[in-house]
Structure formats: structure tokens, C-alpha cells
């Protein structure tokens, strides 16, 4: 990612919120949908004609990334984690706000690096940074970096978790598993473009969708519970990253691929990207089952990554 020289104009000492704000404001590109961006008491966005989609996500040192992780990587991850929720709803980005609780040990230069990464990644996703807040922790209570990113998007017809129907086919947009072990958790994919194409190409045949952030088992169960159906996945069809197993796909978090269900009669061959069919929606008590090569079904409804564990 190319650096922006406007973020290098201050000395590397104690974090100064006013100068961070000045740097962000001077680096703003002024996207057409933003009437007033960073620098005032609040952002002013042009009204959108479609329903507004809003989501918030946290990125916490020691939980979502390890101490010592490069700050540029932390900023990128924080934006992408939150933007994944827009993808899950098939929503077009409008903008985002970011708040940061920073340890007092962080230098001013390091804080600028972090904010530069947030702003550059937000611009890359066409989801401009329009505001936020910064707070510095006291030394005796310092607990590492804590970022919160709120994203705003719009969608004529958001795709919900609750729309899966008996008979639907189940798909994912990419391989799963091993995110933390491989380091991919720092650069998760953002499937906004794919989600918008799914909605455009498939229309009402796209019944339900979710961002796989907490593992295939836990997130598929969220669809099952919301829709009142059972999801049966086939072990041999679950796409896995090299070195990962289907068990890793079920329980590992931070993959950020999309799981979605389609009407059984849907022709998805016209999609301009690859998807993987992994199972079927059936009737029954809400659950997620994995069927192995012998046809034995394993209940994985409770397996996944739990925040705070």
C-alpha cells in the first residue's frame, strides 16, 4: 500500500488527536456521496434513496490480532472485518466511521500509520472514512489497541440470514480454514463485489446469505436458526485452504467468505466467478450437520470461533 506523505508531517512523539484529525482531513479525497467529511462535529452524507444498511465491528489486540502485528495490517483488517457485513447483506458501501482506543505507549507516528491504513483501505473499498474518534488509555489501565469500525451501506433488497428454504442448495464463495495459522486473518477477502453480482445475476433466487467470520459451523447455524431449517453439508464438498481440513473450516474463524443458499432450480453457471456447492437445506429442527463419505451425519451446530475465548 502506497504511503500518503501528508501523514508524515508530524514528529513521532505523544499521540495528538487534533493533529491526527488534521492529517485525515487533509488526506480526504472528497467522495461524491460525502457533503462534509472528517473535521467537523459530524459527517454529512447525501441521503440515499435505498434502505440504509448499518453494521459495527471491533478489532481488539490480543483477541483479533497479536501484539506486535504491523499497524498497517491492523488498520486493513479492522476495515475489512466490518465491510464483510455489507457483503453479507449485498449492500453497496456508503461510508464508515472508525473509533480507536490507543495505549499511551503508542507514538504519534505509529498512530498516523494506523489511521492512514484505515483511510486508504476504506477508499480502496469505495467506503470512505467520514469520521470517528480517538481516545488514549492511561498507562495503568492500558490494554492494547481497540478499534471499532461502523460501516454504512445501501441495498434495495438486503439479503438476510432468515430466507433459507427447504430444498435450497448451499454454496460458499471460496476455500475455508486455517486463517490464523496462515496469517490470512490479517487480510481477509471482502466479497462486496461478488455479493452484488449474486444479487444482480440471481435475483430472488438468492434466498439467504452470511459472512463466514466465526467458522462455517457457527455461521451456518445462524442461518439455520434464523430460517427455521436444517443445513446438511457434505464433507467432501467443503473447499479448504491448503493444509486445512473440513474440521478446520467448521471451527476456524476469520475466513470472511460468503455462505449463501439458492433455489434448487437456479442456474448459477452464468456467475462471473467461481462458487462451491457444499450441501442442501432440509426440513427438521434447526441444526448444521456434516455428512461423511459413509453417510454418517455429525452435528457441528455448536462448533466455531467464540469471541473472548
For the segment 179-191, what is each residue's pLDDT rounded down to a tens digit?
999 999 999 999 9
Is pLDDT at 1 greater than 60 in this prediction? no
Predicted local confidence at residue 306, as pLDDT: 74
pLDDT band, very low/low/confident/very high, at 233 (cuts 50, 70, 90):
very high
Select the CATH number that applies to the domain covering 161-299 from these four: 3.30.70.20, 3.40.50.300, 1.20.120.530, 3.90.650.10. 3.90.650.10
pLDDT band, very low/low/confident/very high, at 17 (cuts 50, 70, 90):
low
Question: What DSSP element (H or E) covers 42?
Answer: none
- Domain assignments of the chain as residue spans, ordered by start: 12-154, 161-299
Of 151, 216, 150, 180, the closest CA to residue 64 belongs to 180
Residues pairing with 45 in the sheet: 34
Q: What is the largest CA-CA distance in the chain?
A: 65
Is pLDDT at 236 greater than 80 in this prediction? yes
Residues 286-295 as b or e (16 or more Cβ within 10 Å = b): bbbbbbeeee
Predicted local confidence at residue 47, as pLDDT: 75
- The pLDDT tens digits of the residues spanning 271-290 come to 999 999 999 999 999 999 99
Residue range 107-125: average pLDDT?
Answer: 94
Residues 247-256 as b or e (16 or more Cβ within 10 Å = b): bbbbbbbbbb
Q: For 95-163, what is the HEC assignment?
A: EEEEEEEECCCCEHHHHHHHHHHHHHHHHHCCCCEEEEEEEECCHHHCCCCEEEEEEEEECCCCCCHHH
Alpha-carbon gap, residue 276 to 237, rounded angstroms: 8
Residue range 212-236: average pLDDT?
Answer: 97
- Comparing 9 with 60, which gets the higher pLDDT? 60
- The pLDDT tens digits of the residues spanning 127-151 come to 999 988 888 887 656 679 999 999 9
Q: What is the mean pLDDT of the chain?
A: 88
pLDDT band, very low/low/confident/very high, at 38 (cuts 50, 70, 90):
low
Predicted local confidence at residue 40, as pLDDT: 64
Question: What kind of fold does domain 12-154 have according to CATH?
Answer: 60s Ribosomal Protein L30; Chain: A; (3.30.1330)
Residue range 67-84: average pLDDT?
Answer: 97
* pTM exceeds 0.85, yes or no: yes
Lowest mean per-residue pLDDT among 16-25, 41-50, 103-112? 16-25
Amino acid at each position: 500500500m502506497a504511503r500518503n506523505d501528508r501523514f508524515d508531517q508530524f514528529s513521532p512523539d505523544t499521540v495528538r488527536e487534533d493533529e491526527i484529525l488534521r492529517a485525515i482531513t487533509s488526506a480526504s479525497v472528497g467522495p461524491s456521496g460525502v457533503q462534509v467529511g472528517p473535521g467537523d462535529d459530524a459527517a454529512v452524507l447525501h441521503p440515499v434513496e435505498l434502505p440504509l444498511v448499518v453494521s459495527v465491528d471491533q478489532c481488539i489486540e490480543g483477541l483479533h490480532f497479536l501484539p506486535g502485528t504491523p499497524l498497517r495490517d491492523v488498520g486493513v483488517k479492522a476495515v475489512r472485518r466490518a465491510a464483510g457485513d455489507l457483503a453479507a447483506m449485498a449492500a453497496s458501501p456508503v461510508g464508515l466511521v472508525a473509533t480507536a482506543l490507543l495505549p499511551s505507549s503508542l507514538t504519534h507516528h505509529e498512530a498516523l500509520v494506523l489511521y492512514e491504513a484505515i483511510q486508504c483501505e476504506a477508499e480502496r473499498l469505495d467506503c470512505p472514512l467520514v469520521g470517528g474518534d480517538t481516545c488514549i488509555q492511561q498507562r495503568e489501565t492500558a490494554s492494547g489497541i481497540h478499534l471499532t469500525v461502523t460501516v454504512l451501506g445501501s441495498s434495495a433488497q438486503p439479503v438476510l440470514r432468515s430466507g433459507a428454504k427447504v430444498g435450497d442448495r448451499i454454496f460458499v464463495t471460496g476455500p475455508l480454514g486455517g486463517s490464523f495459522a496462515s496469517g490470512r486473518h490479517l487480510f481477509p477477502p471482502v466479497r462486496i463485489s461478488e455479493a452484488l453480482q449474486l444479487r444482480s445475476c440471481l435475483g430472488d433466487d438468492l434466498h439467504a446469505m452470511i459472512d463466514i467470520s466465526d467458522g462455517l459451523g457457527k455461521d451456518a447455524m445462524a442461518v439455520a436458526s434464523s430460517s427455521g431449517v436444517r443445513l446438511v453439508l457434505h464433507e467432501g464438498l467443503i473447499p479448504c485452504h491448503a493444509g486445512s481440513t473440513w474440521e478446520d473450516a467448521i471451527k476456524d474463524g476469520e475466513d470472511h467468505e460468503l455462505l449463501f443458499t439458492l433455489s434448487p432450480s437456479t442456474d448459477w453457471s452464468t456467475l462471473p466467478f467461481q462458487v462451491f456447492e457444499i450441501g442442501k437445506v432440509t426440513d427438521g429442527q434447526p441444526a448444521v450437520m456434516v455428512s461423511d463419505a459413509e453417510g454418517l451425519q455429525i452435528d457441528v451446530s455448536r462448533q466455531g470461533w467464540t469471541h473472548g475465548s
